[in-house]
Structure formats: structure tokens, C-alpha cells
Amino acid sequence: MNRNTKIAIAAPLLLVIAAVGFIWPKHDSGPAPSAASQNMPQAEKVARGAYLAKAADCMACHTTRDGAAYAGGRALQTPFGSVVSPNITPDKETGIGNWSADDFWNALHNGKAKDGRLLYPAFPYTNYTAMTRDDSDAMYAYFQTIAPVKQASRPHELRFPYNQQALLAVWRALYFKPAVYTPDASKSAEWNRGAYLVQGPGHCIACHSERNALGASDKGLSGGLIPVLGWYAPSLTSDREAGLGDWEIKDITDLLKTGISQRATVFGPMAEVVRESLQHLSDEDARAMAVYLKSLPNEAGTREPYEPSKEPEAKAFLAAGQEIYRKQCMDCHGEKGEGIAPHYPPLAGNRALTMDEAVNPIRIVLNGGFAPGTAGNPRPYGMPPFSHSLNDVEVAQVVSYLRASWGNNAPPVDSTTVNRYRNVPLE
């Protein structure tokens, strides 16, 4: 049964359930802020909120390209239609200028607007719910200080029945339970800080998690395809993918803060996350995230070895890929795929090449690979795109060669798979 069939079956059933009773409390003022938060000087609270807004990457969704900061309007494509981000500047007519700190908390923690309307989980309140009331109030204080922009929020463009609040209420009953992060007393303060950042403001699960037919995540960091963006967010709990159990803390911290390390380089959507959000973390917070991510339980890191075909056609296919590599790639990545870390990533033993999902290397060959420009890597090296010079078969050949060389052991890809991603938008 494919994804669309599951959705078609599940949606009417959920509407029936919703019709039986649609009861949801309109407002929840939440807990009172702590004494420390109430006594914090306003300038310090605003600065704290600005920092948290970066950590939560609010700008990425609430600002259009060349648009006013936080004025909304960016359409987030989903399998159910487009969710359009709202204006969160303090304009009193079109933004959140008339919101109270309680209203803001209610949005982050409970996923409800000031008027009680249920918010769609494209706004990751399913993760932000872990944030403390003090952090919510600091963010509120910051957003009340930015320049107000009079720009009405556009309506979402969701297909029926996904545009129905009753269906959303049932979705929430099934998949969402508000809960502030509870520290694990058996772990260090640093580990708990990292867990809080990853699970809450960082909302890493939003990408690095498999989703079911109704868009709910599996609550883990086991990896998932981001279908609309056309990238695969690898598992952070498997050494077959992007598990960090055998990494040094410094290498993880470097990757989060700069986008490059001796072990890997970030590309695609993760490059934007590093540029706009993670590079602005303090060294202590970046290290705390690294400590937590390194500690995650590691799934089995091995699989059945792939046995390459000995058919002449298969050998010729890889030989053609080798020739393309020799002409186009070898000068930077080396004759044996050794690379020159961190600027020219090694390809030998590179887990990004050998994952079951080959979409990321396909996209990088087609569209180029560009590490983010960050304070720690202000002049990043980039890989040019080859979509204009290599056809689908040639891209499949060179990616298949990379997946099968220098100790890499993964099945080949075909031109049909390449073609599927050739015209996927870059944003």
C-alpha cells in the first residue's frame, strides 16, 4: 500500500472520529515565569531571546528571500499542500503586536494561535513544546523589539480535508502531547543542555525522522527522506549513516559551528541550518549538543555486503563512471578518493555515499555541493554542478562508481532515479 493510498484511507476515518466530538481548550496561560526570569533586566532578556531565535532557526521559515525579517510569507511545501509562514513581527494589525507572553507561550508549547486556532505542525511546536516558559518569554521579549512590518499573512493552500481544523484536532490527539523537557538526573548538566537544544529549539527531529502517511514523525533521529526538498536527512543513531558514536567531540562541534570538520562537510538544507542557526550557538552549547548526539544509542552499523554484478554490462557501467571521475573529480578528491579534509571531503569510506538512499550524492553531482559560509569557515570551498554537462546516465555511472570504490560497498543507481531529482527545486 503506497503513501497516497494510506492517506486516502486514513483521512475519512479521522474526519468521522472528529465529527463525534471536537473539544479542545481555547487557551492555556501556562506556568508562571520563574523569579529569575521576572527579575532579569529587560535588555538581558531581549538578548537571550535573540540568541534563542537563532538557535530555533525562526528566520528560515518566517522570512522570504529578499523579504523583511520575520514578516512571513514563505510557502513550506508538504505532501498535503502549502503551509505559509505568518508574520511574527510586532505589527499590531498583521503580526503579533497584540499578543501577550501567554499567547506566545501557547503557540510554542501548545501549537495554538491567540484566537485559539490550532496551528499546523509545519511550525514545529511538536518540538518547541519542550522549551521552558522562561525561554519562551525571552523570545517573546525579543520579537516585540524587532521592526514591525505591516504585511498580512497569506492563507495556507492545503487540500481538503487537510485544511479542516477538526482533522487537525484529531491529528494532535493521536500524535502530540505538550511537555516541557525534563532533565535526566542520571546525566550531566552538559548532556541535558544538549538534549534540550536538540529536542527543543533545534527541532532536529523535524528533518532527521521518518514520517508516517499523516506527516507525524517517529520521534527519533533515525533518518528520513524530505520528499518536497528532495534530500535525505540521515540517521543520527546509526553508524551506517550519520551516527556520531565514533566521532571526536571536537569534530562534531566543528561541524555544527562551521559546517566542516575532519570527518565531514554539510551540504544542502543542512548548510542553511548551520549558516543561519547553528554557527551562532555559543561554544558551550555547540559542545553540549555534540556530547548528547555522540551519546545516542547506536543501531547496528553493518549490513549484508553488496555483491557487484559480474555481467559485462555492469562492469562497463562502472568503468564509464570511473572515466568520468578521472576527468571531472580526481583533481580535488584524489586518485583513491582520499580527498583533502576538510575542504575536499574524502570519498573513500564516506557514509554519505553508501547509505541506502542515494539521493544526496545524486543531488550534489547534479547541483553542486556548497558548504556554508560561516565565521569559522568564511571562504568555503564548493563543488560545481554537473547537471549541464552530464546526462542522467552519466550521473548514474559516476555515482555508482563512487558507491563501489575504495572500500565503499553499495548498490548502483540508475538513470531513472537521477532523472527524478534533476528538476527538484533547490529550495
Tens place of pLDDT for every residue, the chain, 427 residues? 555 554 444 545 444 444 433 444 455 667 878 888 888 899 999 999 999 999 999 999 999 988 999 999 999 888 899 999 999 999 999 999 999 999 999 999 999 999 999 999 999 999 999 999 999 999 999 999 999 999 999 999 999 999 999 999 999 999 999 999 999 999 999 999 999 999 999 999 999 998 888 888 877 898 988 877 789 999 998 888 888 888 999 999 999 999 999 888 999 999 999 999 999 999 999 999 999 999 998 876 566 788 888 999 999 999 999 999 999 999 999 999 999 988 899 999 998 999 989 999 999 999 999 999 999 999 999 999 999 999 999 999 999 999 999 999 999 999 999 999 998 876 6
Would the pTM of this model clear 0.85, i.e. be above it? yes
Which pLDDT score, from 0 to 100, does residue 19 have? Answer: 41
Cell of 335: 586518485
Which pLDDT score, from 0 to 100, does residue 243 have? Answer: 84
Which pLDDT score, from 0 to 100, does residue 29 have? Answer: 66
Which pLDDT score, from 0 to 100, does residue 17 have? Answer: 45
